[in-house]
Structure 1
């Protein structure tokens, strides 16, 4: 993969792949809410539940009948969505989908796909929605290729559920006074090659005064950059905020790194839904609002240590 995992604004931008060992417990279906019946859409071989979930009646009837929402996702981006050591799909997105499913009385089934094909899969109706740390942008809303400026499809609507930007992290207890990008002048920074972090570092290097050069070492992936910093080969690292926060929480049992300063280049992640599927869009927005209000959303965000990216409301098409 190429370019930035932070914004994920073009197919040329990268996803940071990592593997964690945190399993998500609990089923996605509400149980004990009604009698089980055969799902005729699946040839009578699967079961569904007649649910009394609070927002079930907001879903399109076809999805209610199947009891399943098909989710397109590039499952290689810890801690947002990734495979654990047992091969289970875990992360922020699956946990949020679990909570949304309880409100809507359906199961969210994640299907792995390359990031740059997710919207195509959505347009072809392979997926009901795409949930994959996808940045809500005007180009995607309008179906415009951000590189060429040409119309490539119908466009999508987004239900915004998280905010992510670029963060700086250091060895724990050794931040060397680094809080901002300007503080990196005279330091050595490690990044993943061809990411927004790399671009920001190169731009900052041009602004540093004479005698305080910012040295940049770029790697193929974020894990290599973390290893370099951990071994003392650099003063700081930079990556996508959720990835930096996850590394700070998990690496060395939470003793290796700390995130310093504020995020920059922050933008919303959105659940993408076809423009024509307004009923599903509105149901998802209502479900997200419900879990924000009942506190389940905050619990999930806190579980993954990314509270700084939490949203307070379920906006639609809030990206620019």
Structure 2
């Protein structure tokens, strides 16, 4: 996810490169949650004395046995609450696999997407892992819309690739096939995401009197609800999320994807610039789970293998 400096993000990129690449099993609930630590997110804690990469972590995190994760836990299938209230999805499963390598538990805390990097800067979280697109603007702490410096920036450990998609009510595509077709239409998006940035950039290209009416929300589920109720013509989000909503909302009867996904770019785990030891430990853990096959198993479970990377990368976003 992302806007100016937080994610899912700026005007030229986002999630997954091949339509039809997601086949998520099961109609899991798309339910949100309050802003609180999720004690029930099952990122198992391996014994740090036997975990192969435990000595790569900073001493304070190794001693605590926990990595605090800021995440917008309302973005199925990347991270969301299931019917029992447990945090599930691609990111929690990858965090669980990494935790076994590092000998720690990844403890997910819910927050709105556009506040996650601020929470990281204030040390509320150790990392932000929330389908966040790695971009130069975020790396440099620059607001993508104004071009102004708003923070010290972050480093990213990239672990997945995805693009942005448009979806409409099923059977009512409003003639929308491309982003240019949104001129004169109302679009719903999650605030601060790449979809939000793309919409604002596209609106500037529209003919006079036919701009895009953009409604932004705290999370993607609110945007979906608005579209479902007939309050907009289309919605946009990262491809895995849009495809999951199309598959599960109303038993597959609410929405449809239109056009092709655009702007494929990496998702990254955000880490403070001065926390290079933690950053490098996370990269080592990701490389380990890619090598041992756990990474592929997670992507197969959620039907998103087209977004796989061959190795973790630091600051690969453009």
TM-score, normalised to structure 2's length?
0.70
Q: Which residue of 2 aligns with 1:224?
A: 225
Q: Which structure 1 segments of 5+ residues have no match?
A: 1-5, 31-48, 207-212
Q: Which residue of 1 aligns with 2:305?
A: 307
1:142-181 map, 5 Å? 142-169=140-167
Q: Which residue of 2 aligns with 1:56?
A: 54
Describe the shift of the 1:219–1:156 C-alpha distance in structure 2 as closer, same or farther (beyond 3 A).
closer
Offset at 1:258? 5.4
- How far apart are the structure 2 equivalents of 1:75 and 1:317? 24
Counterpart pick for 1:288 among 286, 289, 296: 286
1:70-81 map, 5 Å? 70-81=68-79
Q: Which segment drifts farther, 97-106 or 51-60?
A: 51-60
1:261-272 map, 5 Å? 262-272=260-270
Q: Which structure 2 segments of 5+ residues have no match?
A: 10-28, 33-39
Offset at 1:284? 0.5
Offset at 1:270? 1.1
Q: Which residue of 1 aligns with 2:45?
A: 29
Q: Which residue of 2 aligns with 1:37?
A: none
Higher RCO structure (Cα 8 Å, ≥6 apart): 2
Describe the shift of the 1:149–1:88 C-alpha distance in structure 2 as closer, same or farther (beyond 3 A).
same
Describe the shift of the 1:204–1:265 C-alpha distance in structure 2 as closer, same or farther (beyond 3 A).
farther
Contact 1:158 1:270 in 2 (8 A): yes
- How far apart are the structure 1 equivalents of 2:65 and 2:240? 31
Provide the secondary structure at the position in 2 that maps to 1:224: helix
Alpha-carbon RMSD: 4.0
- How far apart are the structure 1 equivalents of 2:91 and 2:112? 16
Q: Which residue of 1 aligns with 2:31?
A: 19
Q: Which residue of 2 aligns with 1:117?
A: 115
Contact 1:245 1:306 in 2 (8 A): no
Describe the shift of the 1:289–1:227 C-alpha distance in structure 2 as closer, same or farther (beyond 3 A).
same
TM-score, normalised to structure 1's length?
0.70
Contact 1:246 1:305 in 2 (8 A): no
Describe the shift of the 1:27–1:158 C-alpha distance in structure 2 as closer, same or farther (beyond 3 A).
closer
Q: Which segment drifts farther, 303-312 or 191-200?
A: 191-200
Offset at 1:160? 0.9
Contact 1:81 1:132 in 2 (8 A): yes
Offset at 1:154? 2.7
Please list the CA deviations of residues 176-196 of structure 1 after superposition, one character each: whole Å capped at 9, or x if unmatched: 9987557x699x886448735
Contact 2:135 2:317 in 1 (8 A): yes
Structure number, greater radius of gyration? 1
Describe the shift of the 1:115–1:258 C-alpha distance in structure 2 as closer, same or farther (beyond 3 A).
closer
Provide the secondary structure at the position in 1 that maps to 2:149: coil
Contact 1:190 1:225 in 2 (8 A): no
